[in-house]
Amino acid sequence: MRLPPSDTPALFDRPALLQRRRRVQADALFLHEAALAEVQDRLSLVKRVFTDIAIVTPFPTIWRAQFPNARIVEDGEVLDLPGSEHDLVIHAMALHQANDPVGQIIQCRRALRPDGLFLCVSLGGQTLHELRAVLAQAEIEARGGLSPRIAPMAEIRDLGALLQRAGLALPVADSFTLTAAYRDLRHLMQDLRAMGETNILTARDRHFTRRALFEQANRLYADHVAQPDQRLPATFEILCLTGWAPDDSQPKPLRPGSATMRLAAALGTGETKLPD
């Protein structure tokens, strides 16, 4: 198998990402606030008091009020996380913009003590599926082809597998969706710009996009998915990943064939044999 060259460009343009984050408006970070609420709910169900917390986040102000003693870590390619010093590491709404998501999770795993908890919230693959579809259709009609406009985002089953690859035990991956409504496509684009979620793909088209393409995309959006009040819905999927640093105290699956009771007996029901 032929390996890719070492100078293969990164998926995301990190300098562009940092530049756009500097223009973020605090009142547009509703996705981060929703992620914070979800993390708080999940931690309330864990019968553990965490004392050494690290939070990987591009927007510390969202998290400091609720976790005043946490170590705040910038979501760079290399995380400023010392090894085995934390009992909880939260990766907050940045994994979908990482060039190496597996490496990010592994670094968080190494920062955990045995039986420490890793908790990640990130945008998932169903995010902006409406916008992705209408932009693709409009561009095919206008240009006869596609250019990278919305970043590919991981599906839930893929990220669940990454937890295991990173060496985390008891991995769990689930998700929920939020739907925001906008006056038109321009309104949605303005909101994405205000929250720092516009196109940062390295392979993005650097040329000026004609207004006619966006006008056609707006018409397609309105024709296909507009709500009864004519507002345009935009879906945001938030993935929630949890895993634990391995420890001998954690429950282990039974060895295959070690059961001492038949399933039918445990359920109190009859057992029906399959025909030959």
11-40: average pLDDT:
95
CATH code assigned to 14-247: 3.40.50.150
At residue 7 the predicted structure's pLDDT band, cuts being 50, 70 and 90, is: low
Q: Pick from 160, 149, 99: which is nearest to 124 by CA? A: 160
pLDDT at 6: 47
Of 273 and 135, the structure prediction assigns the larger pLDDT to 135
pLDDT of residue 157: 84
Q: Residues 173-188: pLDDT tens digits?
A: 999 999 999 999 999 9
For residue 254, the model assigns a pLDDT of 60
Confidence band of 3 (pLDDT split at 50, 70, 90): very low
**Poorest-pLDDT segment among 95-99, 155-159, 253-257:** 253-257
Domain residue extents for the chain: 14-247
Residues 184-227 have pLDDT tens digits of 999 999 999 999 999 888 888 777 678 888 899 999 999 999 99
- pLDDT at position 241 is 96
